[in-house]
């Protein structure tokens, strides 16, 4: 669901889609990945933090753990104020 809002760069709409998708069971992990990427690209630390908190439940899954680690590392870079747009 979050991937629908990426072309529009509408942060509030993306946050509302994230909140909706976080309530679904099972949680759509690729929607969470999209929301996390959107938060990182737009330097929305609160959105990224919320998504990473939701992704913690998938931390034991070998198929997805490297993606979660990747997003977590970019979140940490953004937190210390290093501009990572040239890295992306």
The reported pTM is 0.69
Ranges of each domain in the chain: 2-79
State mean pLDDT over 3-11.
52
**C-alpha–C-alpha distance, residues 17 and 13, integer Å:** 6
d(CA 58, CA 13): 25
pLDDT, position 5: 45
On whether the CB atoms of residues 74 and 84 are closer than 8 A, the answer is: yes
Report pLDDT digits (tens) over 39-76: 898 888 888 998 999 899 888 889 999 999 999 999 99
Cis ω before 35 (30° cut-off from 0): no
């Amino acid at each position: 669901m979050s991937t629908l809002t990426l072309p529009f760069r509408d942060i509030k709409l993306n946050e509302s889609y994230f909140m909706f998708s976080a309530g679904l069971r099972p949680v759509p992990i690729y929607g969470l990945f999209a929301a996390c990427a959107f938060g990182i690209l737009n330097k929305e630390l609160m959105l990224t933090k919320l998504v990473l908190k939701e992704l913690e439940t998938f931390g034991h899954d070998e198929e997805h753990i490297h993606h979660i680690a990747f997003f977590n590392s970019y979140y940490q870079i953004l937190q210390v104020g290093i501009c990572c747009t040239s890295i992306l």
